[in-house]
Amino acid sequence: MFKKFSQLGRAFMLPIAILPAAGLLLGLGGALTNDAAVKAYPWLGMAWLQTILKVMSFAGNAVFSNIALIFAVGLAVGLASGDKGTAGLSGAVAFLVYTATIAGLIQMFSPKGTTVDTGVVGSIVIGGMVSYLHNRYRKIELPQFLGFFGGSRFIPIVTSFAAIFIGAIFYMIWPPIQNGMTSVGTEIAKMGSIGTFLYGFLLRLLGAVGLHHTIYPLFWYTSLGGTAHVAGKTIVGAQNIFFAQLADPNHVGLFTYGTRFFAGRFATMMFGLPAAALAMYHSIPKKNRKKNGGLYLSGGLTSFLTGITEPLEYTFLFVAPWLYVIHAFLDGLSFYFADILNIRIGNSFSGGFIDYLLFGILQGKDKTNWPTVLWFGCIWAVLYYVVFRFCISKFHVAIPGMNDDDDDTSVSSEKADNSSSTKETSLHEQSIQIIKALGGAENVESVEACATRLRISVTDNGKVDKKTLTDNGATAVLDVSGGLQAIYGGKSDLYAQEINDILGNDN
């Protein structure tokens, strides 16, 4: 079950990776074309510049308006075991057939004005259906007179017929399900800030094993995250509502209450974790600081700018899981306080300074209440520093640089950045070393990548040499059911592609 959820989370990362670029276009376009911005900075009113900015806004909005289709294609590709191009095409065709089936049934049998929007749930079902049929039948052999339609050509055909069937089922069952989800979303909203805390706390806990990607899309893209009327349309899902409001030039006042599923990230990622990095640096012996300083500096800076926290979190997660639970609790509190302080900043990917600038500062105080993050973040930085400094010093947590034998037992700053020795080695040679450390090609079932980690399925975990993996640049190696996750940062996707090329996997 863990392995299946891990695969689903990995597949979610493919469409989610598109969102930062789309968010950048929509964030800049929306912020710099509104009347307030033009009045404050008259040079923005130049016709050619406004044309460019409006086109950027339209382009970004196009992605978020078709997010369900993008997720269906992304999941089909991400879960396919090979010939991923055919899987992606089949996913697109199946989703279009699926939505057309529902629309046709509504037109024929439902009262005027009825809508059925299955959102990301429909995307998951269609993407999963396509990947299942694709993996099962992409090499099917048909009788000779039907030979042209065999193999990969069979997949768009069979998935289209399956999509009609699924569309008919959803037409019948989805209205009560959506009503139920809306009711649950309403109850979560009634929980107020306590519900916001629970969301942030559990999301951070699941992030330790990479399963958070299976949770937050349900709040971002379905009625669990709220329902709102924007520019004459009914929009469901916290992020969908936020970006619809962002694209609406007539929107005034604070952005949607659904931003409570985002706003709590900024204090932790921009202030809390960088302060924790400083606390860890100050906690290690002075003689080890020069050697390990780069690890904590790069981890804190990455968290501040981009909101990617794994490089820093994995310095203490395995040596002190209880400290990670404290961190998750503090992150939940960050969501809680952001809620009660009416911080209404959305995001496209994470809670770093880039998203803070785009969706907070540039959108204006009246819509986001962005200045509150600054003074609250300073308090949060002090809290994180004190908590981490006390816990690490009091319990002598074996973070990198704490012990004199860290060369043998922990990850040095050079390893965290793929040390100078690995930099001198080609990507191909490093990938061969990783394969050997995984027990050889015969022990490797599959290799995929998400934002910062390799997700590897192996036949026998006992054959894996974790020390060689960390020597080769992995910040940490986590055992999971049926395989492991190795944290390689931004090079994870490069390693995954190279390893699959070496193994001859059809990816």
d(CA 440, CA 463): 9
Specify whether the CB–CB gap between 245 and 255 falls below 8 A. Answer: yes
Q: How many helices (H) and strands (E) does the chain have?
A: 25, 6
Here the tokens at position 372 are: 């509150």
Of 269, 257, 275, 335, the residue nearest 304 (C-alpha): 269
Specify whether the CB–CB gap between 368 and 254 falls below 8 A. Answer: yes
Which of the residues are catalytic? Answer: 450
Here the tokens at position 325 are: 């639970």
* CA 337 from centroid of its chain's CA atoms: 23
Dihedral (CA of 244, 247, 248, 254) sign: positive
CB count within 10 Å of CB 321 equals 11
Specify whether the CB–CB gap between 472 and 434 falls below 8 A. Answer: yes
Q: Which amino acid is at 422?
A: T
Let me know the angle formed at the C-alpha of 138 by 135 and 143, rounded to the nearest 5 degrees: 140
Specify whether the CB–CB gap between 79 and 128 falls below 8 A. Answer: yes
What secondary structure letter does DSSP report for 256? P
d(CA 331, CA 345): 16
